[in-house]
Amino acid sequence: MKDPAVSVHLNSEKTLHNGYFGEYGGAFVPEVLAGKLAALAENFHAAMKDQDFLSELQYYLRDFVGRPSPLFLAERFSAEVGARIYLKREDLNHTGAHKINNTVGQALLARRLGAKTLIAETGAGQHGVATATVAALFGLECIVFMGSEDARRQAPNVERMKLLGAEVVTTDAGTATLKDAVDAALGYYIQHPDVFYCLGSAVGPHPYPSIVREFQSVIGREAREQILRAEGCLPDTLIACAGGGSNAIGLFSGFLQDATVTMYGAEGGGTDVAGLRTAATLTRGRPTVFQGTYSYCLVDDAGQAVDAYSVSAGLDYPGIGPEHAYLKDTGRVQYFPVMDDEAIAAFGQLSRLEGIIPAIESAHAIALAGKVLKNTGKLAIINLSGRGDKDMGRF
């Protein structure tokens, strides 16, 4: 194994320029999008050096989103697991998840580019709500694409998006979940290149994995400062759920250079990993080009992407961000599937022990913590990526 601390650092520097994390990443898109993505990358790099842009971003993160989010010591959960566990409370952000960190940043980029319409895909609906919210905030039109199965299982979020003034376009293609919503959004983007595609996770063609990582990295920066203040040392362990991988990379990015910090990603195991009724992309998938990027993907024997399955709409995706593919191959982060029933049990467990109802996505990270931290006494941070209101009455 390469020295992860060094190679990750060098690699993320390189990624800013060419969109690759080791061999993963890139932009595999039709000609009509290539120029648009290049302009987006240029605009993004300029924005990240523009003090006015950064001040505005900071202002909205503080006064609109409510950052910094607290780092909370979960004492009763810690006692039950046998470790010292803090929760990074992204569930307390405005709109109830980490997704808003990214949409505020991307909406500000859209304004710089003079776009009048935001489009987005959504699975759990949290990214759709977060996009509809910033569209309302900045007076932009908003169209959200969603699989009809997800619209059914995350109905409260569909109502929220509509109330916020967004148009919600559902698709019945495939399994009518996140992958199909991304296809629908990409299709619309190709036909309407004047809109701004506000992509919700660290996936897709360059520069999106770098943009989303940057806007979510506030989670890791804050968590690092907060744990040092609370405990006077770095954590032993970080745990986050990984759908496309944005909340996980947001937390991990603050600690990648610290070789003593062990990191775990919880994938949506579904009900049968070997039988492919799963969303455990890094555990069960293979490197391939999918939805504009080269990364791991769940594929059939012919190498074609297959439909994923997870009880969690936000994890129900056959792809994964290219940086996670790189972090898996280098061994810097370990990824494990968490099965539906384990996540559902953790959903109830955290609610009863801490008075915090987690999103079913976040409950995957809670369940993994229960296993990898069991009686270790380790100091850990779990990213509580969102709150569970949207999942009420489902289990």
> Using CB under 6 A as the criterion, which residues of the chain lie in contact with ligand PLP when the complex forms?
97, 123-124, 126-127, 201, 241-248, 314-315, 359, 361-362, 385-386
In the complex with ligand PLP, the residue whose CB is nearer, 53 or 244, is 244
Q: Which of 69, 78, 88, 121 is catalytic?
A: 121
In the complex with ligand PLP, the residue whose CB is nearer, 363 or 379, is 363
Active site residue 121: yes
**At closest approach, how far in Å is the CB of 149 from ligand PLP?**
14
CA-to-CA distance for 17 and 15, rounded, in angstroms?
Answer: 5
Residues 6+ away with beta carbon under 8 Å from 388: 91, 347, 351, 357, 358, 359, 360, 362, 363
DSSP 318-377: SB--HHHHHHHHHTSEEEEEEEHHHHHHHHHHHHHHHS--B-HHHHHHHHHHHHHTTTT-
CA-to-CA distance for 113 and 105, rounded, in angstroms?
Answer: 13
- Whether the ω angle into residue 207 lies within 30 degrees of 0, i.e. cis, is yes
In the complex with ligand PLP, the residue whose CB is nearer, 332 or 364, is 364
Output the six-digit token pair for 87: 């929760």
Q: Which of 214, 312, 385, 390 is catalytic?
A: 385
- Whether the ω angle into residue 68 lies within 30 degrees of 0, i.e. cis, is yes
Active site residue 351: no
CA-to-CA distance for 170 and 298, rounded, in angstroms?
Answer: 23
Residues 6+ away with beta carbon under 8 Å from 136: 142, 164, 165
In the complex with ligand PLP, the residue whose CB is nearer, 84 or 153, is 153
**At closest approach, how far in Å is the CB of 157 from ligand PLP?**
9
In the complex with ligand PLP, the residue whose CB is nearer, 189 or 252, is 252
Strand 286-290, strand 196-197: pairing: unpaired
**At closest approach, how far in Å is the CB of 232 from ligand PLP?**
29
Q: Which of 99, 328, 378, 390 is catalytic?
A: 99
**At closest approach, how far in Å is the CB of 82 from ligand PLP?**
26
Rounded to a whole number of angstroms, the distance between the first and last alpha carbons of the chain is: 41
Q: By the 8 A CB rule, do 355 and 334 touch?
A: no
Active site residue 214: no
Residues 6+ away with beta carbon under 8 Å from 273: 280, 283, 284, 337
In the complex with ligand PLP, the residue whose CB is nearer, 168 or 379, is 168
CA-to-CA distance for 92 and 121, rounded, in angstroms?
Answer: 23
**Residues involved in catalysis:** 99, 121, 385
